[in-house]
Amino acid sequence: MSDITQAEQPEADTAKPARHIPGQPDMWVLVLFEALIFTAYFAVYLFHRSASSALFLRSQGYLNPWLGTLDTALLLTSSMFMLRCVQAARAGAVRAAMANAYLTAGLGVAFLIAKITEWILLVHDGHGFTSNEFFLYYFFLTGIHLLHLLIGFITLGVCIYQLRSPNRRSQEIVETCATYWHTVDLLWILIFSLLYVVR
């Protein structure tokens, strides 16, 4: 009886798929750390906004909500393609995974161009980093986010590099790169809400 139980045990274990968090644990530690740092940034921004609400509200009027909305749409769409990349990689559809990774990168570049264009237009109109407290936070938050976006391009490069060769291919690394890209997207949504939407 005990022999049958021991023989059936491995079969019972294999019947239950192992549950795991996508990507490498180190990336999730980094994501948590970034979330804490940006929470502190947002708290300081909201504190100073409450102290100078009229200045912040007036300064917000100089932002282009259409460009901000376009930025958001570009990053949200890029995250959709990144999700499709992960799904395709899991299914073994490597070409589809790479195509979606390239589309993700292309939309990221479009976001970069749109954001730099907005910066140029603001500076041209006399609203620079030192104009007032609102624009100090605006350029700081969007600049920090842009730095994360550039790191995101590096992770996309790693993802594509992994997908190119069967010898290097690692689903865990693809999911890790996707986790970082989704984090960049989430941070922008929060920044967009604070700078463009909150009144």
Query: Model's pTM, two decimal places?
Result: 0.83
Instruction: State the pLDDT at residue 191.
Output: 95
Instruction: Name the CA dihedral angle for 62, 189, 83, 24, rounded to a multiple of 10 degrees.
Output: 130
The one-letter amino acid at 129: F
Domain-by-domain residue ranges, the chain?
Answer: 78-199
Q: How does pLDDT run along the chain (199 residues), one tens digit per residue?
A: 444 444 444 444 444 545 556 656 677 788 888 888 889 999 999 999 999 999 999 999 999 999 999 999 999 999 999 999 999 999 989 999 999 999 999 999 999 999 999 999 999 999 998 999 999 999 999 999 999 999 999 999 999 998 988 777 788 889 999 999 999 999 999 999 999 998 7
Instruction: State the pLDDT at residue 11.
Output: 47
Phi and psi at residue 11, to the nearest 5°:
-65, -40
Instruction: State the pLDDT at residue 5.
Output: 44
171, two tokens? 């689903």
**CATH architecture of the domain formed by 78-199:** Up-down Bundle (1.20)
Chain-centroid distance of CA 118 in Å reads 20
> What secondary structure letter does DSSP report for 128?
-
Question: In whole angstroms, what is the distance from residue 43 CA to residue 24 CA?
Answer: 29
At 104 the three-state DSSP class reads helix
How big is the CA angle at 64 (ends 61 and 68), to the nearest 5 degrees? 120
Instruction: State the pLDDT at residue 2.
Output: 41
How deeply is 168 buried, as exposed, middle or buried, from its count of CB atoms within 10 A (0-12, 13-18, 19+)? exposed
Question: In whole angstroms, what is the distance from residue 75 CA to residue 110 CA?
Answer: 9
